[in-house]
Amino acid sequence: MMEHKHPPKFDVRHAAASQTLMEGHDVLSSYERLMQETQGLAAENPLDWTARVEVRPDPAGQPTNWLHLTVVTTMPQICQRCLGPVDVALQVNREFRFVESEAVAEQQDDECEEDLLVISREFDLATLVEDEVLMALPLVPRHETCPVNVKMLAVDDDFEAPVEKPNPFAVLAQLKGKA
């Protein structure tokens, strides 16, 4: 097992042939897009990751390079219910199959269940880690139970209800009945 702080760039074929297992313990501040998403908060939050690169059979039974990625971190967000800060615990657990080119990936993408990546001599694992964390963020972050009472009505206590106007067709119906 190779231990790193920041996810390295690596040669996919070489790493898969040697059944490489890498792991690391990083911080959010190492990732520019994650810091933008958190608005610079919690820069020292830990981001733990593991990556196992290996050769396994693809769905057709042919030996293929695979990557199993796990990432665990906590991202500070804004609760959409109370508008206060909320720490969102994230856990990514994904598998990727490597293919030879973008054209092959496009051709096979609709037919397979696994995600496809293009094989590379300098595969950027850090970018993949960052992408996966961003995609794992909830669309609407919120507390399970907000720490403050959330106003659930859009009406103030001193608001007067609108006066109900008579239906003009009801007046016409009354006239019709008198004729």
Domain boundaries, the chain: 2-148
Sign of CA dihedral 115, 120, 125, 19: positive
Confidence tier at 123 by pLDDT (50, 70, 90): very high
Give kind and range of the element (H or E) at residue 135.
Answer: helix 125-136
What is the pLDDT averaged over residues 118-128?
95
Burial class (CB in 10 A: 0-12, 13-18, 19+), 15: buried
Beta bridge partners, 172, equal none
Closest CA to 125 of 47, 55, 41, 17: 47
Chain segment 30-50, per-residue pLDDT in tens = 999 999 998 888 899 999 999
**Amino acid of residue 87:** D
Tell me how far apart the alpha carbons of residues 127 and 32 are, in angstroms, rounded to a whole number.
Answer: 10
Tell me how far apart the alpha carbons of residues 31 and 136 are, in angstroms, rounded to a whole number.
Answer: 15
Chain segment 124-156, per-residue pLDDT in tens = 999 999 999 999 999 999 888 888 877 666 666
Q: How many CB atoms lie within 10 A of CB 114?
A: 15
